[in-house]
């Protein structure tokens, strides 16, 4: 079974400002310790091939997993990571990918979008219920707060997408 979940926000900063966070390892310093116990860089510099060991807070579905940054496209402002050890793979998933995108809207604003792409092995379809975009929505809000602290303003956007829309959450199963 294949599925996607997505969330997006309008951010009142230039796309290059938002991409400086989403496209780099700077995202780690904004999200730890509020969302993760810690994130270790096992190898790499933030580009494709970088391996991160993510340790979750107590009470989370997982204790930890390793993920690999598989794509960083600075021109298109797209970054993708795949869980490659533990986590959702232990629940029968073939693929659990998180994509961050920054889309220029105007010279002073952009859209940030997080998309989860997953594929589940036959017989494990019920585990799709564990997939949630909510944690990534919180991360995007943390980035918003960070940008606000630096003098920028961000707000949610209700941009229509070719997905089933629930507020700013888009679901495609």
79 is catalytic: yes
CA-based angle 28:30:33, to the nearest 5? Answer: 80
Q: How many residues does the chain have?
A: 173
> Kind and range of the H or E element at 97?
strand 93-106
Tell me the sheet residues that pair with 3: 118
User: What are the residues whose beta carbons fall under 8 Å from the beta carbon of 23, sequence distance 6 or more?
Assistant: 72, 74, 77, 79, 100, 102
Hey, how many other C-beta atoms are within 10 angstroms of the C-beta on 22? 23
Identified catalytic residue from 79, 104, 121, 149 = 79
Residues designated catalytic: 79
């Amino acid at each position: 079974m294949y599925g996607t979940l997505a969330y997006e926000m309008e951010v009142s900063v230039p796309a290059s400002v938002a991409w400086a966070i989403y496209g780099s390892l700077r995202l780690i310093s904004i999200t730890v310790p509020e969302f993760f116990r810690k994130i270790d860089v096992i190898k790499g510099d933030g580009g494709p091939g970088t391996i991160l060991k993510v340790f979750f807070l107590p009470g989370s579905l997982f204790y930890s997993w390793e993920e690999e940054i598989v794509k960083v496209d600075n021109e298109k402002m797209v970054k993708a990571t795949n869980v490659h050890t533990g986590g959702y793979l232990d629940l029968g998933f073939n693929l659990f990918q998180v994509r961050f995108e920054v889309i220029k809207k105007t010279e002073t604003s952009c859209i940030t979008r997080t998309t989860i792409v997953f594929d589940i092995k036959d017989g494990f379809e019920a585990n799709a219920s564990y997939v949630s975009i909510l944690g990534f929505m919180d991360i995007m809000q943390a980035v918003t707060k960070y940008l606000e602290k630096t003098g920028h303003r961000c707000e949610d956007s209700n941009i229509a997408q070719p997905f089933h829309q629930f507020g700013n959450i888009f679901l495609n199963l």
